[in-house]
Amino acid sequence: MREIKSAAMVVNAKSRKGQKLFKQACAAMKGLPYDVDARAVENPKDLENAVRDVLAAGPDLVILGGGDGTISGLVDLLVGHDVILGVLPLGTANSFARTLGIPLTVDGAVEVLRTGQPRRIDLGMIDGDYFANCAAMGISPQIAETVPHGLKKVLGMVGYLGWATYQFARFRPFTLIVDDGTKKRKMRVVEVRISNGPYHGGTWLVDEASVDSGEIVVQAVRGHYKRRLAYNWAASFFGMKERHQDTISFSGTKLTIETQPPLPISIDGEVLAKTPITARIAAGVIEVMAPVVA
């Protein structure tokens, strides 16, 4: 295993827990066997410049602190650099950290930086943009586009779920067309998940997806009525086997996706694209510090 001699940390201090836990993370990292250039970024617009700045110094490890959206939005900058990604999960769902088995506490995540090992993983791609965990069409981007500014930071998961319930009442099913290059499939659906990992919204949903499978997975929840989506989420939340009765999955290195009507796509919680799109896998494109697997 390569020795880590230098590290930098960039924390999104506007994420729900970022500002509050930045000092705690700095204190926890004092016990690491290397110095950490730690930066709390108040304005999310400055995050990319902060990461570019720390990368210019050539660290062995770059730690990103924030939610899934923060990590997905910045991971592009690490691709092509000889650097290991460290994850400090400070968001609401923390699906990427869950996929990797990283504890959701500051002390637990820092312990992985201390005792873990680099793991080479895939990233998903929507057209030309990398993402870490999961993109979605349906209710998720509708919520992400409309959620009041600061709601998650102030009220956390409870506030977010309340807003999701309100938006669910306004949501309508749609038509999905998936093309794997050999065959097109068309169906009526209530949600579509484009997954590089099994978690979405902090819940295990896509069994077939893995960060090192070399394939992107598109999972559709079929149905003409939105109550099918509510049932699927409830069954998934409680780990019931019935969670798969209304789902169908497609996998490959490249899948073309259309919807009728065209819909926005949320990528790890941030609305960044609109159908039609091409979903790809970037196999083994980055290393991340993960717990040691026994």
State CA 50 to chain mean position distance: 20
- Place 11 in a pLDDT band, splitting at 50, 70 and 90: very high
Tell whether 78 and 145 lie within a shared domain: no
Asked if residue 291 belongs to a domain, the reply is: no
Query: pLDDT digits over 22-52, tens only?
Result: 889 999 998 888 889 999 998 889 999 999 9
> End of a domain among 121, 148, 181?
121
Q: Give the pLDDT mean for 275-282.
A: 97
Residue 239 covered by a domain: yes
- State yes or no: pLDDT of 154 exceeds 60: no
Given a cut of 90, is residue 18 above it in pLDDT?
no
Per-residue confidence (pLDDT) for residue 213, from 0 to 100: 96
Rounded Cα–Cα distance for residues 227 and 229 (Å): 5
Whether residue 83 has pLDDT greater than 60: yes
Euclidean distance between CA atoms 199 and 273, whole angstroms: 20
Report the SS3 class of residue 77. helix
Query: Which amino acid is located at 116 in the chain?
Result: G
Specify whether 48 is located in the same domain as 142: no
User: Which of 89, 121, 153 is at the close of a domain?
Assistant: 121
pTM above 0.75, yes or no: yes
Q: How many CB atoms lie within 10 A of CB 277?
A: 21
Reply yes or no on whether the pLDDT at 159 is more than 60.
Answer: yes
Contact 71, 64 (CB under 8 A): yes
Whether residue 26 is found in the same domain as residue 140: no
In whole angstroms, give the CA distance from residue 114 to residue 124: 27
Name the domain count of the chain.
2
- Does 210 fall in a domain? yes
What percent of the chain clears pLDDT 90, i.e. is strictly above it?
62
pLDDT of residue 233: 77
Task: Name the residue range of residue 85's domain.
Answer: 7-121
Identify the pLDDT of residue 17: 64
pLDDT band at 204 (very low <50, low <70, confident <90, very high): very high
CA dihedral for 111, 113, 117, 118, sign (positive or negative)? positive
Joined together, the tokens standing for residue 105 give: 């506490």
Residue 54 pLDDT grade (very low, low, confident, very high; cuts 50, 70, 90): very high
For residue 37, what is the domain's CATH number? Answer: 3.40.50.10330
Confidence of residue 251 (pLDDT cuts 50, 70, 90): very high
pLDDT of residue 148: 66
Same domain, 140 and 266: yes
> Given a cut of 90, is residue 8 above it in pLDDT?
yes
Q: Looking at beta carbons, which pairs linking 78-81 to residues 24 or more positions away fall under 8 Å?
A: 78/51, 78/286, 79/123, 79/130, 79/282, 79/285, 79/286, 81/55
Checking if the pLDDT of 263 tops 70, the result is yes
Q: Report the CATH number at residue 210.
A: 2.60.200.40
Same domain, 114 and 147: no
Helix axes of 68-78 and 47-56: crossing angle, nearest 10 degrees: 40
What is residue 160's predicted lDDT score, i.e. its pLDDT?
A: 62
The whole-number pLDDT of residue 162 equals: 72
- Where is the domain boundary, 121, 143, 175? 121
* pLDDT tens per residue across span 107-136: 999 999 999 999 999 999 999 899 999 999
Assess whether 189 and 266 both reside in one domain: yes
Quote the Cα angle for 198-203-208, to 5°: 20
* Side-chain-side CA neighbours of residue 150 (13 Å): 1
Q: How many CB atoms lie within 10 A of CB 173?
A: 18
